[in-house]
Structure 1
Amino acid sequence: MKRLLITIVGALVLGASVPALAGPDFQLIERARKAKQAEQAERPSDVRVVQGPAGGESLKCPPEPLVLPLDHGLRAQTTPSENRSRKARYDAQLKACQEAIK
């Protein structure tokens, strides 16, 4: 009885561990990558490049989303004043895009 139990448990453990040892399914990964590329090719881009108000520089409208680094606590990466200036610069970019589109 003891050997039968050990054999059954061993077979179950081996059966459960075989999928963990298998490698990635490269065909499935490749199909998903191609489908994503095809979807992106079909969808028109919402990003426009327009001439800025000064005429020389080009603006990417809308600009990348604003991400501010941590400005408080023990592991602060920046200062609040730097974040305020980044936010002001981002707002100016948004306003310039709105002006350029009109």
Structure 2
Amino acid sequence: MLELSLAPKDRLMYLLQYSRPTGTNKKIRSFVVNKNAYQNKTPGEISQLKEQKAKKIIEERKVLLKRRLKDIEIREGVRPFTAFGRSPRPSTTCFRTKNS
């Protein structure tokens, strides 16, 4: 809690510095608490934890990108390609009709 002895302008600056907007309403703010997860760890353990965290973030982004691409394909009506490079179903233009 900020002291009431601060000037209103200073109090506002501290509020903006240590809080974030909550949801879509920019007037409602939440207090930010940063937890030091690397306390009492060796430098090797810290680097290993950071690498694991980076890998996890990369995987989450890949999953999100795949989901977005799938949604775009569904919206646009684009069918995904098969492993053959083209559709396994033969084209109907190669068949002759009886009249020709």
TM-score (norm 2): 0.28
TM-score (norm 1): 0.28
Higher relative contact order (CA 8 A, sep 6+): 1
